Amino acid sequence: MSKKILIVDDEPNIVISLEFLMKKEGFEVVVACDGEEALAKVAEFAPDLVLLDVMMPKKSGYEVCEALRADPAQAALKIVMLTAKGRDTEVAKGLAIGADVYMTKPFSTKELMLRVRETLGQA
């Protein structure tokens, strides 16, 4: 059974590339383009991992992450934060509120895949 990945980003072109990348690796992919939709999709599809952008309309990635970590039903969910915000404080904040991985954009596709598999325990 393939793992399910939820891609959350408000940039359509980034969604296109991530979706293509994940599908090629054999994951099942769901897409959300803002924070609220992301929470809805998590509840609906119960993904194994979320690729989460930070700067989004309606709810930021941090808020989504906090909400997910506050939900005991989602304890097993892996969160990979993907963001163009690369300052140390922002990385620290992301990890502090419970992200498993924090990657800055632009990312290397190889490294992203590596970290995703690692996080899912497939490496």
Partner 1 sequence: MLSGWFVVLLSVAYGGLLFAVARFGDARADAGRSIIGANVYALSLAVYCTSWTFFGSVGRATSGGLSFLTIYLGPTLMLLCVGVIVKMIRIAKAQRITSIADFIAARYGKSQLLAGLVTVIAVVGIVPYIALQLKAVAASLDVLFDRSGHAIQLWGVDSTLLVAAVLALFTILFGTRHLDATERHEGMVAAVAFESVVKLLAFVAVGVFVTWGIYDGFADLFRRAAAQPELLRLMQPDPSRAGAWAAMILLSALAIVFLPRQFQVMVVENVDESHLKRAVWLFPLYLLLINIFVLPVALGGLMHFAGQGANPDTFVLTLPLSQGAQALALLVFIGGLSAATGMVIVETIALSTMVCNDLAMPALLRSTWLQRQKRGDLSRLLIGIRRLAIVFILLLGYAYFKAAGEAYALVGIGLISFAAVAQFAPALFGGMYWKQGTRAGALAGLLAGFAVWLYTLLLPSFAKSGWIDSGFVEVGPFAIDWLRAQALFGLDGLDEISHCLWWSLLANLGAYLAVSLATVPDALEASQAERFVDVFRHAQRAPDVRLWRGNASLQELVELLERFLGPARTRQQLAAHARSRGRSDWRELAPDAEFVHFAEAELAAAIGSASARAMVSSVTREEDLGLEEVLDILDEASQVRAYSRELEAKQRALEAATGELRAANAQLRELDRMKDDFISTVTHELRTPLTSIRALSEMLHDDPRLELGERRRFLGIIVGEAERLTRLINQILDLARLESGRAEWTAVAVDVGAVVREAMAALEPLFREKGVRLSGEIAAGLPSVLADRDRLTQVVVNLLSNAVKFVPGGSGEVRVGVACSDGAVRVSVADNGPGLTADECVSVFEKFRQGGNTLTDKPQGTGLGLPISRQIVDYFGGKLWVESAPGAGATFIFTVPLREPDA
The binder of partner 1 chosen from 22, 33, 39, 101 (CB under 8 A): 33
Decide if residue 40 touches partner 1 (CB under 8 A).
no
The backbone torsions φ and ψ at residue 52, rounded to the nearest 5 degrees and listed phi first, read -115, 120
Integer-rounded Cα radius of gyration of the chain: 13
Decide if residue 99 touches partner 1 (CB under 8 A).
no
The binder of partner 1 chosen from 2, 12, 40, 43 (CB under 8 A): 12
Decide if residue 119 touches partner 1 (CB under 8 A).
no
**Cα gap 73→59, rounded to integer Å:** 20
- Strand ranges (E), the chain: 4-8, 28-32, 49-53, 78-83, 101-104
Half-sphere exposure of residue 1: CA atoms within 13 angstroms, side-chain side: 3
Q: Give the interface segment with partner 1, choosing from 17-25, 42-50, 68-76, 91-99 (CB under 8 A).
A: 17-25
Decide if residue 60 touches partner 1 (CB under 8 A).
no
Decide if residue 45 touches partner 1 (CB under 8 A).
no
Chain contacts with partner 1 (rule: CB under 8 A)? 10-14, 16-18, 20-21, 24, 33-34, 55, 57, 84-87, 104-110
